[in-house]
Amino acid sequence: MAQMEEKSGGKQKKGKKAHKTKKVSTRVDLTPMVDLAFLLVTFFMLTTTFSKPQTMEINMPVKDKTAKEEGQAVKESKSMTIILGGEDKIFWYMGLPENATVDVTDYSDKGIRKILLDKDREVGGLIVLIKPSKNSRYKNVVDILDEMSITEVKRYAIVDITDKDLELIKNI
């Protein structure tokens, strides 16, 4: 709390009549304000909700040591290969790489999203193979996984890029 302290006046001078004056000094006690500040800091720390990281659920296949590695047969007409290139380019083709015609698109809603929606509607049960190249960035992989979620393509896999795929996109 605030206190008032009284002190007696200065020195008396010789030959003059001495006047005693009282000097008043004020002192403010800041202890309650510090207590209040700590209470507020504690309150806001305990009531703040922190932002939760957004994650995408990916179901990974279980490796069985006893099972033989057998490939599952996929129809050529239902398979689509997406190659993630540098400079945010997407190369895609339908079927096998031996007789494929490669097209180029981008990550816009009129780019890969429209192609995925059209092909899934046309084929029914589209299977997408995503192949990131060395020139692609991590952001490109996240973007294409977002597109898979948006277009509701249920079957897709991230696989390694092959030499045939690199030959196909080299000339484009």
Tens-place pLDDT, residues 43-74:
998 888 777 777 766 666 666 665 555 555 66
For the 76-170 domain, the top CATH level (class) is alpha beta
Where along the chain do its domains lie? 76-170
Tens-place pLDDT, residues 78-136:
888 999 988 888 999 888 888 778 889 888 888 889 998 888 888 888 889 999 989 88
* Whether the predicted model's global pTM rises above the 0.85 cut: no
**Tokens coding 88:** 């945010």
1, 27 Cβ separation under 8 angstroms: no
**Tokens coding 154:** 């249920």
DSSP 8-class letter at 109? T
Side-chain-side CA neighbours of residue 165 (13 Å): 23
Three-state secondary structure call for residue 129: strand
Strands (E), the chain: 3-7, 23-27, 79-84, 90-94, 103-105, 127-132, 155-158
